[in-house]
Each structure stands twice: as structure tokens, then as C-alpha cells.
Amino acid sequence: MSIFTRIEKRTGGLGWLSSQPPVDWVRNAFLANDPVYSGKQINEQTAMQVSAVYYCVGLITDAIASLPIDVFKDYPDGTTEKVRAPAWLRKPNYRMTPFDFWQRVVMSLLVAGNAYIFTLRNGKGDIIEVWPIHPSWVYPFPEEGTTNVLYDVNGVTMDQTEIIHIPAMSMPGYLTGLSPLEAARQAIGISMVTEEFGARFFSQGAYMSGIIQHPGKANPEEARRLKEDFVKKHQGVANSHAVGVLTGGASWHPITITPEQSQFLQTRNFTKADIALFYRVPAYRVDPAVTSSWGRGVEEQNYAMAQDTLHPWAARIEQAISTFLLPGFQTMRFNMDARLRAKLSERYQAHALAIANGIKNPDEVRSEEGMSPIPDGKGEQFYRPANLVGIDEDLPTVGDWKKIPSEVDDGTLYSPPPAPEPDEPAQGEGNGGNQK
């Protein structure tokens, strides 16, 4: 019985792969016994309402999901060849684009600390579809008497050939990864309380804007009428600058407490930067008041972001896919160069250096720029500088670009013609003097 048939019979089809998670999904994502001192409930929905969390998660997921995917084959002699990616990498399943698929995988890691991928195979055991599964549906447990891990997926027990588990940072002996939201729950709780305070501060007023002082002793009814009359004449935007008149010796005493004095803005900015630390996102990306220390150019900042923030998450996915889903000697890689694309002039300068030094051929450069190869394989040739001698003496030099190898009749690589011999010295020249 195929896996597809078994799942259909035991779960009623594959609809559960894209249905809503159960209410108790926090079983896998958070530690319910650890209190949040702010008193706020931290879960997937509430945490994503915090701007810093939403930004950090969205930044990383979108950045990785938008990267091109390359597959390479490693040979015993140490060489590597780029090969065509399998169909399920190009189109994961009939409902998702590659961007949608990888966005869900990365978001599962960033929110729950664990990503699970279900592999749908045909009768030959070949993968035909892959589906991301919400972490709440999966409960990993060790198989008795072995070192294997089994997975309870919505009541169906599956093994490691059916479920690919990508955990986040974890300790030895743990089957699941640590949720970044769980690690940052206190900072997220503070941020939620701060946001709530700010909303109430400006909507309802977290303090009295002022008091009316009356010289005499007013009874409750007189005080109420005095207050209502004052509020009626001065409340609202239209009356914000109206001239006020108090009678009977009453006087107005404003109470000025600004958000800065109550440290509202400082606390808000601090919690943003604190949450960004849990995702290794530079603080200047979530707090405009913080200046960047990652160099002066955007390219240097993007490089630091790719190296320190994106690469560790991408490496987890690359190694899991390469180890458990690809054939032997094949590896999957996210092409980080696409993230680091420089300006057009800078890219072309780098391309020229790569071609001139034999690092890339013209067709490889054209492929990176989204162009088609040069016809008849004329762009597959490598070049070297004219003042260098490589292992292959026949390798054309950069100065030979106007003369392509296919124009040589005998099929050999083109090499520049030898320099003409110098003219014979005239009689009497070169002997240091005139002949007598």
C-alpha cells in the first residue's frame, strides 16, 4: 500500500496538510510551564502582531524563499558539476510555488523552532511532491529499542523516510529545536505591554491632562457641572486651541507628562532591538535611531546580513534536503549571490575580471544575467591573461576574444601569430663603430 493511500485512508485525504492547526499547537512550540512576567499570552498569532517580530520573521523568510536554488553533483576526483534540479524542487506540489513552499518551511523554523516536510512518493519510491506541515501536527518520539525517530502526524505514525525534520538550535538529547519565540517570550511580552500602554496612552489618556482648582468648597453637583462644561467646550481636535474661560475664581493647572518622560519611546525602541537580537537581525533594521556599523555601503550591509543572519538558517535546510532527499553525491544550495547583486556597473566589472582570469566563461556570466548562451557553444571557452602561462599552453588569451576557436580550420585552439622577426641590422651596425 502506497504512502498516499495509507494517509488517505487514515486521515481522510491530504486536506490536513493545509488545514488550520489545532488549538493546542503550543504543545510543540512553547513551554507552557514557563511564565511570561508581563502577563501576556505569547503564541503564534499574538507574537506576529508585534511589529519587530513580524519584521524579523518576514525579512528572513522572504529573503531565503526568494533565492534561486542550485543542485550540484560531486565527483570522487573533487570536481563539482551543476546539474538540473529534480522536478519536486522546481515545483514542490500542485498548490505551491517554490517561494510559497520555502517561505512556510523557514517560517516554521523561525516561529516554532522546527520545520517538517512530508514527502509523497510513487510506487518506485521516487519523490513526486513535498509538503510543509505545521509543527503543531507533528509529535516526534524515539522508536523503542532503536535509535530511530518516529513521527505522530495527526494520528498517523511515520518514519524518517516520510517526514524530514529540520530543527532549529537544540541541545543533545532533544528531538526538537528551540523556538525563537519561546526564547524571546519575555521580550515579546514587554513589547506587547508597551504597545498596549501606548495605544491607551494616546486614545484614552494614561494620565490626567490637568485639574480645575476652585477657591471655594464646591459640592459634587457643582464640580460635575464645571467639569462637563469645560470638557464640552475644549475636548476634540476642533476645540484644541480654543480660548478657555473659567468663572467663580476657578483656575486650570495642566499636568504635563510626555511619553519621553514616562520612558515610553525608550522602552519601545529597546524591546525592538532586543527582539531583533534573537533573530540576529541588525538593530538598525528595526530601529531607525540606530546607525549601521556594517560598513558604509549597502553591498557591505547586505553581505553581513547574508553571512550572519540568512546563511545559518539556509544551511540547515540545505544540509537536510541534501542528506535525506537528494541522491548520493548531490547537494542543494541556495544561491546567495542573488541576494548580493551589486549595481550593474559593479557586476559587469566583476564579470570582466572573472572572464579575464579564467574563473568563468562568457556563457556562465550570461546565465547569471538572465541571458541565453552564445550560439554554437562559442561562449563555453575559458580565457586567461596574456602575461600568464597556465597548464594548457593553448588556452586563448583575453586579447583573442575577437578570434573564436571555431574559426581555426584544423580544430585547434586559436593562438596569436608569432611576432615578426626583427630586421637584420645594417652592415656596420651593432659592432660598436664604423668599419674602416
Whole-prediction pTM: 0.66
**Neighbouring-strand partners of residue 118:** 131, 163
Using DSSP bridges, classify how beta strands 330-334 and 251-254 pair: parallel, antiparallel or unpaired: unpaired
Residues sharing a CB contact under 8 Å with residue 158, sequence separation 6 or more, in sequence order: 118, 150, 151
Nearest Cα to Cα of residue 36 among 195, 183, 171, 197: 183
Residues sharing a CB contact under 8 Å with residue 414, sequence separation 6 or more, in sequence order: 396, 400, 403, 404, 405, 407, 408
Contact (CB, 8 A) for 276 and 285: yes
Distance CA 86, CA 193 (A): 48
Which pLDDT belongs to residue 419? 55
**Tens of pLDDT, residue by residue, the chain (436 residues):** 444 455 554 444 455 454 444 443 434 444 444 556 566 666 777 778 788 888 999 999 999 999 999 999 988 888 888 899 999 999 999 999 999 999 999 999 999 999 999 999 998 889 999 999 999 899 999 988 888 999 999 889 999 999 999 999 988 888 999 888 777 777 777 666 766 666 665 555 544 566 666 666 666 776 777 677 766 655 554 544 555 555 666 666 665 555 554 555 566 666 777 788 888 888 788 776 666 555 556 667 777 888 888 999 999 999 999 999 998 889 999 988 776 666 667 778 888 888 888 888 888 888 877 778 888 888 888 887 776 655 555 656 555 544 444 444 444 444 445 555 656 555 554 444 444 4
Which pLDDT belongs to residue 30? 43
Which pLDDT belongs to residue 39? 61
Contact (CB, 8 A) for 246 and 252: yes
Which pLDDT belongs to residue 200? 63
